[in-house]
Amino acid sequence: MNGEFEFQFPWLLALLGLLPVYALLLGKTGRLSALAFSSADIARAAGAQARAAAGRFLMFLRLLAVALGIVALAGPRFTNYHVETETPGVDIMLVLDLSWSMEAIDMGKPAEKLSRFAIASGVLKDFIAKRPNDRIGLIAFSGVPYLTSPLTLNHDWLIENLSRLHIGIIQDLGTAIGDAVAVAAKRLKAVPNSKSRIIILLTDGDNNLGKIDPLPAAQLAAAMGSKIYAIGIGIEEPCNMPAFDPATGIFRLDANGNVIPTLLLQPANYSVLGKMAALSGGHFYRAKNQRELQSIYNQIDRLEKSEVKLRRFATYEPLFEWPLLAALGFLTLEIILANTRFRRVP
């Protein structure tokens, strides 16, 4: 928003150019009065004194009042210009896997000790920051899905809730992909007048728990108008899952500060994710490292863009009353002085 001073009818200010003519006519109007003086010198001195003091001052007040009246008629005002965005944004439900296998550290550099979950949550935060005009929600799942955040435009609050998550916060073990997608689809359907509904599913495992299988869940999402972007993460070879504290999600380290390997994780079969994406009209992606995962979310960001419309309008704060009040004040002062201090004898 910005503002500036302007006149609604600036062409009326041209009337100010007539003031010299008005002053000339004002000085010549009225009948000449006559008084008897014993000496012409006395009359000459009195006339000159009146013209120099009272006459000129009163004429100045009249001209000033007329000038201010013209300024008031021109409509001075302060204009505020506004720009509003109208964004029929995309409704996005993020579905994030919190199963224990997401603690694997196969996607980052060995020295970084970053788990799949740590990398995924960092990429998600960046993706959320790029979509300020979209309603975004978050469902975290392991053996059961939990609504971490409903669809919201308050992305700071969404990111804050995402930051509270860690592996182990959901005590129900397993990977219920179908249930999580079904919950996401129902949440998206509950929002009316949505331009576009998408589900971004991120997981590193096979569906092994839940009441709804992945493919029926994808069909349900498609029937409710949602597309699924399915992302499978993790390397395509066995890797060890580090020991960690389920209460905090923090790695347990040995005396030398190294992670302690525990279970041997097998690569997941991601063919089901591809079928889910195809059934809903979406896309399937594979990410084996942080760079690939970031690139995938950048692609989704380009595919699902919000349409932003700008509406420009102006509001006005009228200021005509100030010159008008000043004009009335000077006119009143002229009348008072003309009938008191500078009163003329007929």
Burial class (CB in 10 A: 0-12, 13-18, 19+), 113: middle
* Mean pLDDT of the 57-64 span: 82
Question: Are 302 and 321 within one domain?
Answer: no
Mean pLDDT of 117-142: 94
45 three-class SS: helix
Confidence of residue 54 (pLDDT cuts 50, 70, 90): low
pLDDT number for residue 344? 59
- Average pLDDT score over residue span 224-243: 93
Which two three-digit tokens encode residue 59? Answer: 């004429």
Among 10, 13, 11, smallest CA distance to 67 is for 13
* 51 pLDDT above the threshold of 50: no
Instruction: With CA atoms as reference, report the closest residue to 126 among 164, 153, 158.
Output: 158
User: Which of 6-20, 50-64, 90-104 comes out lowest in average pLDDT?
Assistant: 50-64
Q: Are residues 193 and 210 in the same domain?
A: yes
Q: Does 126 lie in the same domain as 185?
A: yes
Say yes or no: 219 and 252 in one domain.
Answer: yes
For residue 173, tell me if it sits in a domain.
Answer: yes
Q: Is 345 part of a structural domain of the chain?
A: no
Render pLDDT for 133-187 as a digit per residue (tens, 0 to 9). Answer: 889 999 999 999 999 999 999 999 999 999 999 999 999 999 999 999 999 999 9
In the block, residue with structure tokens 């008031």: 72
Per-residue pLDDT tens digits for 205-217: 899 999 999 999 9
Q: What's the angle, vertex CA 40, arms to CA 38 and CA 42, rounded to 5?
A: 75
| Position with higher pLDDT, 344 vs 329 | 329
Residues 67, 93, single domain; the answer is no
Of residues 323 and 121, which shows the higher confidence score?
121
Q: Are residues 104 and 194 in the same domain?
A: yes
For the chain, percent of residues with pLDDT exceeding 70: 86
The H or E element containing residue 82 is: strand 76-86
SS3 state at 226: strand
Asked, for residue 67, whether it belongs to a domain, the answer is yes
**For residue 296, what is the enclosing H or E element?**
helix 290-303
Give the helix/strand (H/E) hosting 116. helix 116-129
So what's the pLDDT on residue 38? 59
Share of the chain above pLDDT 90, in %: 49
Shared domain for 133 and 243, answered yes or no, is yes
> Closest by alpha carbon to 339, among 45, 53, 58, 25?
58
Report pLDDT for 50: 45
Instruction: Say if 94 falls within a structural domain.
Output: yes
Whose CA is closest to 202, among 264, 276, 258, 129? 276
The string of pLDDT tens digits covering residues 238-291 is: 988 999 999 999 999 988 888 999 988 888 889 999 999 999 999 999 999 999
Structure tokens at 81: 């210009």
pTM over the 0.75 mark: no
Q: With respect to residue 252, please indicate whether it lies within any of the assigned structural domains.
A: yes
Residues 51 and 200 grouped into a single domain: no
Q: Does pLDDT of 343 surpass 80?
A: no
Residue 221 covered by a domain: yes
Is 299 domain-assigned? yes
On whether both 109 and 247 belong to a single domain, the answer is: yes
Per the structure, the complete domain to which residue 6 belongs is given by 2-81+317-338
The dihedral region occupied by 193, where left means phi > 0, alpha psi between -120 and 50, and beta the remainder, is left
Indicate the average pLDDT of the chain.
Answer: 86
Q: Which two tokens stand for residue 99?
A: 């199963």
Distances in Å between the alpha carbon of 59 and those of 56, 62, 152?
A: 5, 5, 68
Lowest-pLDDT range, 44-53, 221-230, 306-315? 44-53
CA quadruple 174, 179, 181, 187: dihedral positive or negative? Answer: negative
One domain, residues 214 and 273: yes
282 and 223 assigned to the same domain: yes
Q: Is the pLDDT of residue 116 over 70?
A: yes
Judge whether 343 lies within some domain.
Answer: no
Instruction: Identify whether the C-beta of residue 224 lies closer than 8 Å to the C-beta of residue 189.
Output: yes
Domain identity same for 96 and 42: no
| Structural domain total, the chain | 2
> Strand 226-233 vs strand 283-287: parallel, antiparallel, or unpaired?
parallel
With a cut of 60, say whether residue 346 has pLDDT above it: no
pLDDT of residue 132: 87
Q: What value does the mean pLDDT take over residues 201-229?
A: 95
CATH number for the domain harbouring residue 151: 3.40.50.410
Alpha-carbon distances, residue 319 vs 5, 7, 74, 134, 242 (angstroms): 10, 9, 10, 41, 72
**pLDDT at 309 exceeding the cut of 70:** no
Question: If we measure between CA atoms, which residue out of 186, 127, 122, 109 comes closest to residue 151?
Answer: 186
pLDDT greater at residue 312 or residue 222: 222
Segment of 4-18, 65-79, 96-110, 214-228 carrying the highest mean pLDDT: 214-228
What pLDDT, on the 0 to 100 scale, is given for residue 234? 92
